[in-house]
Amino acid sequence: MVYFVGAGPGAKDLITVRGLELIKSADIVIYAGSLVNPELLNDCREDCKIYNSAFMTLKEVIETMEEAEHKQQMTVRLHTGDPCLYGAIREQIDMLKERKIPYEICPGVSSFCGAAAALSAEYTLPGISQSVIITRMEGRTSVPEKESIEAFAAHQATMVIFLSAGMLLELQQRLLAGGYPEDTKAAIVYKATWPEEKVCFCKLKELAKTAEEENIKKTALIVIGEVLGDVYEYSRLYDECFTTEYRKGRMLDENQPD
């Protein structure tokens, strides 16, 4: 059995209870060494075999899982954040399916959630944005033309940009070209939830300069949007006049005592 486990954004105690239990009972752990907090491996069994996938190819990862399966051993494949985002799990899953090796996925706290916590931000503020666009600049992996930064920027929704901290001048220019005003609120969150976390607020037009001043080149998320500002509307859910499934709203009448 293979478990794909989300390790969380960095802090050792931000893995799920289920994920930690799986690590504790694993015979084999293959972890994404570039970003997974190695302290999570302290909870492995003493006889657990640990592999760092940063040094492995897809073929080697699958062979390791296959060998473990033949010995009826349990493998944990530990991915950073939640495996559903830029985790390259689909290709592993398909290869496991071909080999009839059973698998399951245990979700994790994605770094975009860790970053929101670091920013004290709500990405979906009434009156400002009710959508979050998660995307990246193209690197070695291409991004479909119809998902260009410019096309997404035209919505002026909240945007969280992964894997792009080394290309911030280009990112800034393309976000501006797409339609965000140059004073749009922006933030760079470096290593969210790690002890060395750094949070920088700026305006979109200062994005590249801010990262340069702070010497941030990788392991960062870029958040764009007016949800980082101070103007918004209160939620209707908790409005005293608003009736919900659970609570009857009050008719506000000037003659009615409070």
Residue 21, CA atoms < 13 Å, CB-side half-sphere = 4
Closer residue to ligand SAH in complex, CB, 75/108: 108
Ramachandran assignment for 248, one of left (phi > 0), alpha (psi -120 to 50 degrees), beta (any other):
beta
| Residues forming beta bridges with residue 162, ordered by sequence position | 136
Query: Which of 1, 193, 207, 223 touches ligand SAH (CB under 6 A)?
Result: 193
Determine if 224 is a binding residue for ligand SAH (CB under 6 A): no
Closer residue to ligand SAH in complex, CB, 157/220: 220
Judge contact between 200 and 187, C-beta under 8 A: yes
| Amino acid sitting at position 23 | I
Q: How many chain residues are in contact with ligand SAH, going by CB under 6 A?
A: 24
Closer residue to ligand SAH in complex, CB, 19/87: 87
Determine if 110 is a binding residue for ligand SAH (CB under 6 A): yes
User: 3-state SS of 76-131?
Assistant: EEEECECCCCCCCCHHHHHHHHHCCCCEEEECCCCHHHHHHHHHCCCCCCCCCCCC
User: Which residues within the stretch 63-92 sit at the binding site for ligand SAH (CB under 6 A)?
Assistant: 79-82, 85-87
User: Which residues within the stretch 4-33 sit at the binding site for ligand SAH (CB under 6 A)?
Assistant: 9-10
User: Which residues within the stretch 133-162 sit at the binding site for ligand SAH (CB under 6 A)?
Assistant: 162
The site for ligand SAH (CB under 6 A) is made up of 9-10, 35, 79-82, 85-87, 110-111, 114-115, 162-163, 189, 191-194, 219-221
